[in-house]
Structure 1
Amino acid sequence: MRRFSLNSASVTALTALVLVVSACSPQPPASAPATGSPQQLPAGVEVELFQLRSDVAERGAQVRVINGSDEDLVITSLTFSDDWFAGDAVRDRTSTVAAGRTVDLRFALPESACEDEPDAASRTSRVAFELEGGGTAEVEVADPLGFTTLIHEKECLRHDLARVATLEWAQFTPSAAPLPAELRLAITPAGGDESAELVEIQTTNLLQFADLPTAFPLAMTVTGTDAATELAVPIVPLRCDPHAVMEDKRGTVFNIEVAVDGTQGAVEVAAPEAMRGAILRWVSDWCGFGPG
């Protein structure tokens, strides 16, 4: 068998040839994306924001992932970012969204951003997914129910009102039927030169004002430099069925209509827990099904 041997001149020539070939070969661009850089979700995967009724009290929300692709999607974590909320919300749990399935991934909403936030036209809402294997994907996400807008408006109205005054239920005095009991609404100005209009107090699913199933008018303007004051509000039960008391969740949470800086809406003022218990006992006694 004929053998080939390389003398020093041959080695030098071969080395030069390798260097030339290497120099002519395509090189990866310096800015090539590293592993884990954002990528697209598989075609057919849709994402939107959603809120179930059970989420409302705890300020929860869901990222609904609709997997219309032919492959399973394994999400190891997600991050929700929105210009109308302060900071990000992170859900650090692995979830598999099988091909053809829809899964809601629950997370807790951050606090509303009520200072220097952008207007609706400039606002963005995004979800970033960490995917199994180290990849990431970021998408803008729609809110078809508009619940994030409602939360932002409601919480920022309360935020703006707090610059003028705070409202709270300070005292409850029970009564014997058919006389009304009395709630006292404490109005404590916060200082400063801003003002707010207190429009009315709305009935709850359990309570109304005296014998009128209508809102209780306030029609007063409060400024930050006013003296603290209390208003007497007469109440009677709106209904007298026992299960309304036993199953009550919102009967002692009052919506008070206010207007601040050109924006009008309702802020919730709930009775403190001890007062809530006293009101529910009074309803039972007033309606005649309590222990007496």
Structure 2
Amino acid sequence: MSQCVPQVRAFTVSAFAASVLLVGCGADGGTSAGRSGPVVPDGVAADLSVTLQQSRLDYADRVVEIEVANMSDTDLVLLGGVLESESFGPSTETTSRPFRPETLAAGGRRGFYVQLGTATCRPDPAEDAVVGAELRAAVTLAAGSRGDHGEPTTVQVPVSDPGDHLTRNLAQDCAAAAVASGVTLTQGETVRTERRGDETVAVLTLTVEPVPGGPDVRITRIDGSTLIDPVDGEAWTGRALAGQDDGVLELALVPTRCDHHAVSEDKRGTFLPVHTTVAGAEQRAVYVPMPDDAKRDLFEYIADYCDWP
């Protein structure tokens, strides 16, 4: 049976109670406005608890999980929803994990995934980004079963963020925006190798292109990662960064480790953690991704360096 998740209509919520909206779906969504079936009880929002979660594998994609706990005595169906925050624009459904009906039994927990909207940052790069106090979720529910449920109902529920995930995401997004206002950072399409003494090292490039009219951005340090180590220490600093004045950095590296699963399970090891100042203000590290062709070069180099069969 086709399901639909209705669009959320904005409305206000008091600190003590959440209002309920009944929103019908059109024929294209598989549910008509006159659909019969069980109805979500009035006041069910007061019996829902919503928590924001984020796994380390979702950091790069800015995806968070909205976990809903049903503390009522009624079985429900969780259909999706929207995260609403003063610090981010409207969240969106992810393409990798789209909304689908999930049984939210009485006393049970279920979650859905959304991608964070555009961060709302302060204009001065020296000011810290601060997450707004109001954090809510518009959660879309129905009564019945996953395959046969009643009219969708959207309720507004406060959201807790015990892991402070939004603070980290906001700081990361605003640092990236501040840096991007002054320079464009791009990893090269290839990773080459060269012989240095009795060791073969890999060399990747980072292009630094100033943005006309943007603030002055200086790279102060580039860290290694779970996959790569700078040849001359724990990070690229000092003379290793002198090439930024000419627009290209060449960064020599060796593998951090040689166990196979470090590469096969890698999620972030090809991102370069770049530390900068923007108009003299120190920023949180920004992570510059590696193109796919360069990844293949790097993985081949690691295999050769580690003498894998």
Note the C-alpha offset of 1:174. Answer: 0.6
Decide whether the 8 Å contact of 1:174 with 1:279 is kept in 2. no
1:140 is aligned to 2:158: yes
SS in 2 for 1:141: strand
Decide whether the 8 Å contact of 1:240 with 1:283 is kept in 2. yes
Going from structure 1 to structure 2, the CA distance change for 1:185 and 1:42 (only over 3 Å counts) comes to: closer
Question: Counterparts of 1:119-158 in structure 2 under 5 Å?
Answer: 120=130, 122-132=132-142, 133=151, 135-158=153-176
Distance across 2 between alignment mates of 1:277 and 1:148: 33
Going from structure 1 to structure 2, the CA distance change for 1:166 and 1:228 (only over 3 Å counts) comes to: farther
Note the C-alpha offset of 1:56. Answer: 3.1
Question: Counterparts of 1:67-216 in structure 2 under 5 Å?
Answer: 67-89=70-92, 93-114=100-121, 120=130, 122-132=132-142, 133=151, 135-170=153-188, 171-176=190-195, 178-212=199-233, 214-216=234-236
* Larger relative contact order (CA 8 Å, sep ≥ 6): 2
- Counterpart position of 2:59: 56
Going from structure 1 to structure 2, the CA distance change for 1:93 and 1:246 (only over 3 Å counts) comes to: closer
RMSD, matched Cα: 3.3
Going from structure 1 to structure 2, the CA distance change for 1:241 and 1:103 (only over 3 Å counts) comes to: closer
- Counterpart position of 2:49: 46
SS in 2 for 1:277: helix
**TM-score scaled by structure 2?**
0.70
Note the C-alpha offset of 1:190. Answer: 0.6
Decide whether the 8 Å contact of 2:202 with 2:298 is kept in 1. no
Note the C-alpha offset of 1:277. Answer: 0.6
1:273 is aligned to 2:292: yes
Going from structure 1 to structure 2, the CA distance change for 1:267 and 1:97 (only over 3 Å counts) comes to: same
Note the C-alpha offset of 1:51. Answer: 1.7
Decide whether the 8 Å contact of 1:180 with 1:235 is kept in 2. yes
SS in 1 for 2:191: strand
SS in 2 for 1:197: strand
Going from structure 1 to structure 2, the CA distance change for 1:127 and 1:178 (only over 3 Å counts) comes to: same
1:36 is aligned to 2:22: yes
Going from structure 1 to structure 2, the CA distance change for 1:84 and 1:278 (only over 3 Å counts) comes to: same
Going from structure 1 to structure 2, the CA distance change for 1:169 and 1:178 (only over 3 Å counts) comes to: same
**TM-score scaled by structure 1?**
0.73
Q: Deviations over 1:190-214 (max 9, x none)?
A: 11151123111111112111153x1
Decide whether the 8 Å contact of 2:227 with 2:262 is kept in 1. yes
SS in 1 for 2:302: helix
Note the C-alpha offset of 1:71. Answer: 1.9
Going from structure 1 to structure 2, the CA distance change for 1:204 and 1:99 (only over 3 Å counts) comes to: same
Going from structure 1 to structure 2, the CA distance change for 1:189 and 1:106 (only over 3 Å counts) comes to: same
Note the C-alpha offset of 1:238. Answer: 2.1
Decide whether the 8 Å contact of 1:209 with 1:234 is kept in 2. yes
1:237 is aligned to 2:223: no
How many matched pairs?
Answer: 253
Residue identity in the other structure for 1:206? L
Residue identity in the other structure for 2:164? G
2:301 alignment partner, one of 276, 282, 285: 282
Note the C-alpha offset of 1:267. Answer: 0.7
Going from structure 1 to structure 2, the CA distance change for 1:103 and 1:204 (only over 3 Å counts) comes to: same
SS in 2 for 1:265: coil
Q: What are structure 2's unaligned runs of at least 5 residues?
A: 1-18, 24-41, 143-150
Q: What are structure 1's unaligned runs of at least 5 residues?
A: 1-32
Note the C-alpha offset of 1:150. Answer: 1.0
SS in 2 for 1:85: coil
SS in 1 for 2:175: helix
Decide whether the 8 Å contact of 1:255 with 1:268 is kept in 2. yes
Distance across 2 between alignment mates of 1:200 and 1:99: 51
Decide whether the 8 Å contact of 1:198 with 1:219 is kept in 2. no
Going from structure 1 to structure 2, the CA distance change for 1:218 and 1:81 (only over 3 Å counts) comes to: farther
